[in-house]
Amino acid sequence: MATEPTGAVSSCVDSHGSAVGMPQLCADWFPNQIFWLVIALIAIFLILSRIALPRIAAVLAERHGTILSDLTAAEDLKRQATEAEAAYNLALANAKTEAQRIAAEAKAEIQAEVDVAIQKADAEIAAKAAESEKAIADIRASAVDSIEAVAKDAAAEIVSVMGGKADAAAVAAAVTSRLKG
């Protein structure tokens, strides 16, 4: 294709379309190349300086800003998390102290109740014991009295049976003195 005969339209191409020497040095083509190059460069310059470069600069600046603000936000969140952790630890410690306090209080209360109950029970037991002792003493006393009466009666009967005339007061005194032994 490079060798298609095109006719000698230029001193730089032979009759078969092949290059004569270096095509780079063919002055016939310079005006064409330079003209279109300048057009292309102007077009590229306008495209870059008017549209592309400001846009890319804006995108890069925006990204930089976004990253910075994201970093700041992350820093903020981290600080908040640390604060939250400290608050949590504080609350935990407070709760522990409170729980211990409540437990101690409850224990003390229960202890007091138990003490009261024990005292009451002791008192009741003591009262009951005293009551019982009194009852026993009464019973004993009444038993002694009954025995004394029976003994007097029996002594008086014995005396009367023996044919004596029992003086009630003398018999009673005799029995009483014998009983006191």
Residue 171: which residues within 8 A CB-CB, separation 6 or more? 152, 155, 156, 159
Candidates 32-40, 112-120, 131-139, 159-167: pick the segment binding another protein (CB under 8 A): 32-40
Alpha-carbon separation of residue 148 from 23, 136, 179 (angstroms): 168, 18, 8
88 part of the interface to another protein, by CB under 8 A: no
Candidates 38-46, 80-88, 98-106, 121-129: pick the segment binding another protein (CB under 8 A): 38-46
68 part of the interface to another protein, by CB under 8 A: no
Residue 4: which residues within 8 A CB-CB, separation 6 or more? 16, 17
Terminal Cα-to-Cα distance of the chain (whole angstroms): 168
45 part of the interface to another protein, by CB under 8 A: yes
Contact 179, 151 (CB under 8 A): yes
Beta strands in 14-160 (DSSP E): none
60 part of the interface to another protein, by CB under 8 A: yes
41 part of the interface to another protein, by CB under 8 A: yes
Q: What's the min distance (Å) between Cβ of 95 and another protein? A: 45
Contact 32, 41 (CB under 8 A): no
Candidates 30-38, 77-85, 162-170, 173-181: pick the segment binding another protein (CB under 8 A): 30-38
Residues that bind another protein (CB under 8 A): 1-4, 6-7, 9-10, 12-13, 15-19, 21-26, 28-41, 43-45, 47-49, 51-53, 55-60, 62-63, 66
